[in-house]
A and B are shown apart, each in its own frame.
Chain A
Amino acid sequence: MAFAGGDPDELQETASALEVLSLDLTGDALAVAAQGRSAAASAGDAGVADLVETALAAVGGAAVATAALVSGLARGATTAGGQLVSATGGSGPR
């Protein structure tokens, strides 16, 4: 198989940083949902309370999916780096 270039060490470092970013986004998602509950408690009007909690739950859910995608990118970078090392016997471009 032909592998065109690539830097496994850089990929590993980037993958770790992407995992941290994914963790941060997960925390953001939960914080957004928590703000929905907080705002609902202050709204006074039941309809507004329900809508704001629902809207922020939707935004939080989308943030969860984004965190999963970023984690997927991290996993992809890790896998690609591992494949490079294996395919070149550790002697490929680094």
Chain B
Amino acid sequence: MSTFPVPPGDPAGLRAAVARLSSLGGTVGETRGTRLRGLGERAEGALPAARVAAFAGARGQASTATSALGVSLVAVGGALADYADALETSQHEVRGANERYDAAWSSSRAADAAGDAATAQSGRQAMAQASAAADAVRQGLLAARQRVAGALRAEVDAWVPDAGALSPVQAWERAAADLLPPGVRIPAETLRDVYTDPDVTLAREAFTEAKTAALKSYQLLTVAGYARLTAQALAAERRLEAALGAYQDLKGAAPDLADPLEYARYLEAEREALRVWGESSQAPGDLQRAQSLYKLLRGFQGEAGALASTAARFPSVASEAIATAGRLDRVLRPVWTAAPLAGRVLGPVSVLTGGYDVYTAVTDDSRPVDDRVAHGLGGAAGIAGGVATTLLAVGLVANPVGVTVVAAAGVVAVGCWAYENRAAIADGASRAAGAVGHAATRVWKGLFG
């Protein structure tokens, strides 16, 4: 006979999911993130200098996303481990309360039949105690449920802010859409299909539409969105690194989760990582802006020049905090070191070649008018980009608008060049050129009206 219902659920199944989530968190947050940083460094070393800053910006955003995904998986795993612990304890306690209640009930009935009033009374007291114990267990599980629900809602809010009640497939769809830059979208129906019928190959085919636009939109979003970029404050980042380090050390030591003490330490490490992650988004606005500007200028002025320019613009922010813009960016140091020389040489070269393009566009009557227009526009973009690159490199300009001019000029120049050479470009290259031209239009409209 079971008087008190045993809470439903499978703690072992939950812990299996926790173990898998912990593994996935490490894979996405560390392994994939490290690969992305390494590949980004290689690509940035091989790109034309004028494209490095934009590529690095987009890559930095993707690296930040992998890191945040890893922490989020750890947080969800921590919440589930908490609930598995509470559920298992509750089930165990309720079963014990049932056994004690049943034994007391039998004892009480037998005592009543034998006329033993004292024993019968003792039995009833034991029944009442078992009932109170079961009630306390229910309350404890309810508190754990509320705690876990709060942690899980926080994770939903992190990826789909202010969304209210969402079904799983809606959360999947919204989180994917929100993280992609404006103008880049994966069709909602495609996302729903992939969620309900998960298959990696199908998913990859379905997401192809989003690929072409992703880089172009995102690199420009990174520059144009300077004023609202979020970055972690130095102190918060250090705390996050320390918490993650402690958690990784514990996990790397293969803790015996069957040991209550080990399990409690494991949970505490996860909770600490979650707590500091929550704090890390509270970086002061000036620090966020200073770090973002520093990262943008580094590609043109090198580390020392970018630091000096940024410090002059944000005198209230400590140089040390500005320079430590993120552990994810340190791998690019060789690129930033070479940046000033490249900018000083290549900026004037771009001005000269752009000027020559404009001159030939005006004077060469033998070419079709549309080709001459494209040639002239490309030349003008080259001049604008070259001037901006030079001014940035020598420190006469140190603001996001200058960086934007370089990025936009590069896009326009390549678009015009592709138009001029359209007959000689294969079909695949033509599609890319069209996308470049489209992106350029959006840039100019978005930035300058």
Question: How large, as a class, is the contact surface on chain B?
Answer: 35 or more
Complex Cα gap A51–B184 (Å): 28
Q: How would residues 36 to 73 of chain A score, 1 for a CB under 8 Å from any chain B CB and 0 otherwise?
A: 10110111110110111111111111111111111111
Q: B39, B177, B357: which contacts A14 (Cβ < 8 A)?
A: B39
Whether a CB of chain A sits under 8 angstroms from the CB of B311 is no
Check: B87 CB closer than 8 A to any chain A CB: yes
**Any chain A CB within 8 A of the CB of B244?**
no
- CB of B248 within 8 A of chain A? no
If A21-B36, A61-B174 touch, does A1 touch B65 (CB 8 Å cutoff)? no
Beta-carbon nearest neighbor of A49 in chain B: B9
B175 and A61 contact, CB distance less than 8 A: yes
Question: Restricting to B44-59, which residues have a CB under 8 Å from any CB of A?
Answer: 45-51, 55, 58-59
Residues of A within 8 A of B79 (CB): 52
Interface size grouping (class) on chain A: 35 or more
Chain A residues near B195 (CB-CB < 8 A): 33, 57, 60
Minimal Cβ-Cβ distance residue in A for B73: A59
For chain B residues 192-225, which have a beta carbon within 8 Å of chain A?
194-195, 198-200, 203-204, 207, 210-216, 218-219
Contact B417 A69 (CB under 8 A): no
A77, closest chain B residue (CB): B43
Inter-subunit contact A35/B20 (CB<8 Å): yes
Using known A-B contacts A52-B152, A75-B212, determine if residue A28 contacts B28 with beta carbons closer than 8 Å: yes
**B382 contacts A by Cβ under 8 Å:** yes
Any A CB within 8 A of the CB of B10: yes
Q: What are 10 A-B pairs with beta-carbon distances under 8 A? A: A1-B416, A4-B49, A7-B45, A35-B17, A39-B17, A57-B171, A57-B195, A66-B62, A69-B61, A75-B214
Q: A1-B417, A14-B39, A69-B58 are in contact. Are A52 and B76 (CB under 8 A)?
A: yes
Cβ–Cβ < 8 Å partners of A24 in chain B: 32
Q: Does B314 contact A (CB under 8 A)?
A: no
Q: How far is the CB of A18 from chain B (nearest CB, A)?
A: 5
Indicate which residue in A3, A26, A39, A59 contacts B204 across the interface (CB closer than 8 Å): A26
CB distance from A61 to the nearest CB of B (A): 3
Q: CB of B95 within 8 A of chain A?
A: no
CB-CB under 8 A for A72 and B198, given A1-B382, A62-B179: no
Which residue of B28, B50, B155, B178 contacts A63 across the interface (Cβ within 8 Å)? B28
Tell whether, in the assembled complex, residue B421 and residue A86 are in contact, meaning their CB atoms are under 8 Å apart: yes
Are B425 and A86 in contact, with the CB atoms below 8 A?
A: yes
| Pairwise interchain contact A57-B36, C-beta atoms closer than 8 A | no
- Report the bound CA distance from A88 to B17 in whole Å: 54
Whether B321 is near chain A, meaning CB under 8 Å from some CB there, is: no
Contact A61 B191 (CB under 8 A): yes
Cα separation A68 to B205 with both chains bound (whole Å):
11
Known: A2-B346, A2-B349. A38 touches B17 (CB 8 A): yes
Further 13 A-B residue pairs, CB within 8 A, beyond A4-B350, A48-B83, A52-B79: A3-B50, A21-B39, A26-B207, A35-B20, A36-B168, A39-B21, A57-B175, A58-B156, A61-B171, A64-B176, A64-B191, A68-B211, A72-B216
* Docked pose: A7 CA to B382 CA in angstroms: 21
Of B35, B156, B342, the residue contacting A54 (CB under 8 A) is: B156
Contact B432 A79 (CB under 8 A): yes
Q: Per a CB cutoff under 8 Å, which of A36, A62, A75 touches B65? A: A62
CA distance A39 to B11 in the complex (A): 10
CB-CB nearest 4 A-B residue pairs: A44-B9, A72-B214, A42-B13, A61-B175
Which A residues are in CB contact (< 8 Å) with B42? Answer: 10, 13-14
Question: Closest chain B residue to A28 by CB distance?
Answer: B28
Selected from A5, A32, A39, the residue in CB contact (under 8 A) with B80 is A39
Task: Pick the residue among B87, B207, B413 that contacts A1 (CB under 8 A).
Answer: B413
Q: A2-B386, A58-B174, A69-B218 are in contact. Are A51 and B153 (CB under 8 A)?
A: yes
A58 to B163, CA, bound (A): 11
Name the residue of chain B whose CB is nearest to the CB of A20. Answer: B35
Contacts of A28 in B (CB 8 A): 24, 27-28, 32
Query: How long is the Cα–Cα vector from A6 to B21 in the complex, in angstroms?
Result: 40
Residues of A within 8 A of B8 (CB): 44-45
A91 to B346 Cα, complex, angstroms? 19
Q: Is the CB of B39 within 8 A of A11?
A: no
Are A51 and B156 in contact, CB atoms less than 8 angstroms apart?
yes
CB nearest neighbor in A for B9: A44
B156–A1 touching, CB < 8 Å: no
Within the complex, what minimum Cβ distance (angstroms) separates A85 from chain B?
10
- Known contacts being A30-B200, A59-B159, is A65 close to B69, with CB within 8 Å? no
A10: contacting residue among B32, B45, B158, B210, CB under 8 A: B45
